[in-house]
Amino acid sequence: MLNVGLTGGIATGKSTVARILVGKGALLIDFDELSHDVEQPEGPVWQEIVRHFGEEILHDDRTINRRKLGDIVFADREKLGLLNRIVHPAVFKEWHRRIEEIRKVQPDAIVLSDIPLLIEAGMKPMVDLVLLVYLSPEEQIARLVARNGYRREDAEKRIASQTPIGEKLPFADIVVHNDGSPETTRIAVGEVWEELKNRERSRRENTG
């Protein structure tokens, strides 16, 4: 098995690359989805969140209103820290559980975990390999405007609030440059897939 961490910046093309790799046979674990899963109503994480942030962050159906909670924590670093301390251990535990389950049933799997903040969160040691989707900041702004309908200045602000993508490059084992056409990326990702299969095979052979 190969445990690949997929990362990049906002709108650099992580989902696009993930989709191509899944089409070739990779298994995808989406961290955003994991955090939704561990916050199911009445579960332990949900209870802790409600205990600290109150019922006013709930929708009528008692699921967490992530926009409301986001507005609270992104305006207050301490609250963000508190929320992360509640949610992260459960997410890691669930991630680990899924990886080990896959390892059992499909020992030659290539598992792709889409983790936007992999490098910022110091998670490089938790994956076998970091796959970074790179896009120049100028093109990143253009794609964010096109995809989310943001005004240019809002897109710039979003990007400025994140670690510059260039600073992540030294942490990557494999880089996909997504500045070109979708077809160019598709071809590049096809080559990455061959590389991942080779690495998975040699890893399995070496660890016996």
For ligand ADP, the closer CB: 107 or 146? 146
**Helix locations, the chain, DSSP H:** 14-24, 31-38, 44-53, 66-73, 77-105, 137-148, 152-160, 165-168, 182-207
Q: Which is nearer to ligand ADP, 30 or 128 (CB)?
A: 30
- Residue 167 CA, chain-centre distance (Å), reads 17
> Which residue, 181 or 207, is less far from ligand ADP as judged by CB?
181
Closest CB 176 distance from ligand ADP, rounded Å: 10
Residues in touch with ligand ADP (CB under 6 A): 8, 10-16, 143, 147, 178, 181-182, 185
| Minimum distance of ligand ADP from residue 52's CB (angstroms) | 29
Q: Residue 75 in 3-state DSSP?
A: coil
Cβ proximity of 6 and 18 under 8 Å:
yes
**Most distant CA atoms of the chain, gap in Å:** 53
Q: Determine the 3-state secondary structure of 197 from DSSP.
A: helix
Nearest approach, Cβ of residue 21 and ligand ADP (Å): 12
Return the number of the residue (16 or 46) whose C-beta is nearest ligand ADP.
16
- Output the smallest distance, CB 16 to ligand ADP, in A: 3
